Chain A
Amino acid sequence: MRITFRIWVLIIALLLALLMISPTFKSSVEIKGIDLGSESAIAGLSQGDIITEINGKEVNNLDSYNEATENLFNDGEVRLDIKTKNDEYIFLSNSLNFTVGETPRSNIKTGLDLSGGARALVKAENISLTQSQLQDLVAVTSQRLNTFGLRDIVVKSTSDLGGNSYMLIEVAGATPQNLKELIAEQGKFEAKIGNKTVFTGGDKDITHVFRNDATQSAVYPAEQMSDGSYASRFSFTISLSPEAAQRHADITKNIPLDSLSGGQYLTENLTLILDEKVVDELRISAGLKGQVASQISIQGSGVGSTPEAAVTDARASMHKLQTILITGSLPYKLEIVKIDTISPSLGKEFTRSLLILGFAVFVVVSICIFVRYRKVKLSLAVMLTMFAEAFITIGIAALINWNLDAPGIAGIIAGIGTGVGDQILLLDASAKGKENEGVRERIKMAFFIIVGSFATNVASMLPLFWTGAGMLKGFALTTIIGVSVGILITRPAFADMIKKSGED
């Protein structure tokens, strides 16, 4: 078989797709997120580092990582000797302060339904946001999620046919329990005495929030309540701006001492309010009366059915409150219109099934072709074209960083289906028949049909790009890429292949 120009194009496209996908067969573990200011970060570890060894134990997948880190900090602070692909780090620490995940085996990215994670679609309640307001919302939310310690997140704005604007948040892998509160809360924080506001959340009034400092932020052991459940308190310190501190002095100056407490506290409390709900009421000790308080202790509590649950709840609440105090509030209320948390383990099962299915489809179609044409060469050409089409489509998806989700994969398979149909057309057109028309002319007619069906396929999928906040874009995109690859690259090459083999 002579390799024509069109076949060369196909070969080059295949090689480029391979380059785009760049698969690897070695598994490894990399740092997905690292707490800034932690010992690990100070030692020089950073996001994306591939860990190969921890304290002499080899790490090459999540299991071996868990094995290496299990019971590592039983005795508190230990010497850590972490080898990465390019370097070695030795430092003392009592925790790792980073999260890890398996390094992807290729550049193919799978969607949430296959990789697991969380997705939320949020819109402003009762108002429609302008483009710049939407961008602000995206910025504040990104900051909040980053401050909260989430990595591997995507926050972006999206809109649909009906002119609605949304913010789309995607979190890969593990889902934090209070994601919903983190993104949906307006985060309007106020500290009030009586009906006067002392300070609000955000960097105007609060200059610093102590977080990773055991002396300034703590969760206390849980205590049993009268109803049998447990409660755990937390407290952390914040620094107030001079203006907010002065306000505190001015307001407390005129509040009398509370005689019931023996003059230990003032009669009015400091009320902490988050999104119009009271978080906590704090008594103000007599010593603070009229003082310019530059640091204030914020307190709250968590509850649970067991002591551990109460402490976990308290820690989560503290974390959330700290995040909101740092990032301030949004000028409107938010509504979560969609929130999905997808189990990574189920996604793995689905991915496996889809791979097997893809293979099964490939086999049955090949059998059909062989049964009809009874020619090994032709069947191989069809199989090669089928494979090339799927491979190049996936390569393009990897190139544009597109997440392949289940509908997207359905799109790829359907694209191949159209492709096989077109190849059958070409085969029938080139088969020697009793018609007087030449092969060339019949192939021309086949291409007319192919172009026609390409146009209708694209036309039918096009509206999906603007539908439903882009949720089905993947389906439309892969189908369109698939049929385009077919018509531009694989179909012409296939026509040449069968022409050549027909002349043999």
Chain B
Amino acid sequence: MLSADLLGQIRAFDSSADCADSIMVSASAFHADDLGSIPSRRIKNKMEQQSHHEHKPEHAKIGFYDKWYKVLLFIPITILILSLVYLFVFYNEHGDFIYKDSSLAGGTTITLSGIDTDLIELSKFLQNDFPDVSVREIKDLSSGRRLAILIDTTAEPEPLKEKVEEFLNVKLDENNSSIEFTGSSLSENFYRQLIIAIAISFVLISIVVFFLFKNVVRSVAILISVFGNIVMPLALVDFLGIRLSAAGIAAFLMLIGYSVDSDILLTTRVLKKREGTINQRIFKAFKTGIFITGTALVAILPAFLIVTGLPESFKQIFLIVGIGLVADILNTWLMNAGILKWYAERNKL
């Protein structure tokens, strides 16, 4: 077959020309910037000469990317800019970047379990005394049961509890309810610190990325992608009107660490693989990376489609990581890959 023939050619080429280079690559696995070195450029040239031997479909795809990558690059950039504009408008309107739940804004959450009542009526009744109240339910889709009702306001627990008791005509105790209260001084502190934590996290990630790749453009490309992975989900969460909890913000921290993985995969493959054109390397990395991200996304689905009776904190973490992973597909494979390709072309690597 053709591929066997090709493999033979490459083997021959490898043994004749490039022993020294292969030693260099493996010895400097952790800080190789070998793309610029002459031998690997030679590999690339050789590969390009051979590229007409490639399977047709793959070749077509690569041709498409060559032609359109700059346009594709603009998709995530446009979404990123739109998200930033939206967040800016949101900030002007609400004085903050997110809607906060009681754990971040201060206030009370009462979770009723095993109590059946009309949510809309309850919400209307409570709105008289607590205008900012939000009433939601946690439903388990697999069993169809309502597990709990969540009541969230910035008020103190006692008056809220009294009103809820009045409406339900049931005394609230530890068997039928959970009551969580966070004082405003703590929540402010908490929120501020979580923002600082995100900033520190971003700085630590930057250090790790610079240490791994030792190249400003490539590292910045990764960090822009990570930045997009934070900003895009944040805008979407705001757009959907979700009140974020402390755990939700912590999920953004996780997202930073989690989503950078695919960027590391991409950059490493583009940098350190010695064969194939940039396109081929990007495409191979993409095949692996998209499957990894896809699997992670599929793993997140049951929490929203099957077993939905989960604690709020848990759901928010999953939701934000899930949205983040989708954003990550755009940011890694259109934005980061685009920047890498553009950089490689400009520098004739």
Contacts and interface: CB of A to CB of B under 8 A. Distances in A.
Chain A: interface residue count, which band? 35 or more
Identify the interface centre among B176, B302, B306: most chain A CB within 10 Å of its CB. Answer: B302
Interface in A417-431: 417-418, 420-421, 424-425, 428
Size range of the interface on B?
Answer: 35 or more
B25 to A, nearest CB: 8
B299 A464 contact: no
Given A467-B197, A468-B194, A341 B114 contact: no
Given A337-B183, A357-B303, A357-B307, A161 B272 contact: no
Contacts of A435: 10, 273, 275-276
Contact of B142 (A356, A437, A448): A356
Interface string A116-132: 10000100000000000
A33 B119 CA distance: 40
B317 A445 contact: no
B235 interface: no
A218 interface: no
Contacts of A475: 247, 250, 254, 317
B181 A161 contact: no
Interface in A313-369: 335-346, 349-350, 353-354, 356-357, 360-361, 364-365, 368-369
B134 interface: no
Given A340-B181, A456-B208, A461-B253, A353 B295 contact: no
Interface stretch (B60-68, B198-206, B236-244): B198-206
Contacts, number: 269
| Central interface residue in B291, B293, B294, B318, by most chain A CB within 10 Å | B291
Contacts of A457: 257-258, 261
Given A345-B114, A353-B309, A436-B10, A338 B186 contact: yes
Interface of B: 3, 6-7, 10-11, 13-14, 22, 25-26, 29-30, 111, 113-114, 140, 142, 147-148, 157, 174-183, 185-186, 189-190, 192-194, 196-198, 200-201, 204-205, 207-209, 212, 246-247, 250-251, 253-254, 256-258, 260-261, 264-265, 268-269, 272-276, 287-288, 291-296, 298-299, 301-303, 306-307, 309-311, 313-314, 317-318, 321
A464 B250 contact: yes
A452 B268 contact: yes
Nearest to A346: B113
A251 to B, nearest CB: 39
Contact of B292 (A339, A360, A406, A425): A425
Given A340-B178, A449-B268, A161 B193 contact: yes
Interface string A449-463: 100110111111111
Mostly helix, strand, loop or mixed at chain A's interface? helix
A354 B313 CA distance: 12
Given A161-B197, A360-B307, A410-B314, A341 B174 contact: yes
Given A339-B181, A346-B147, A425-B265, 16 more contacts: A161-B197, A338-B186, A349-B113, A349-B148, A350-B310, A353-B140, A353-B307, A421-B261, A444-B26, A448-B30, A453-B261, A456-B261, A459-B208, A459-B257, A468-B189, A469-B190
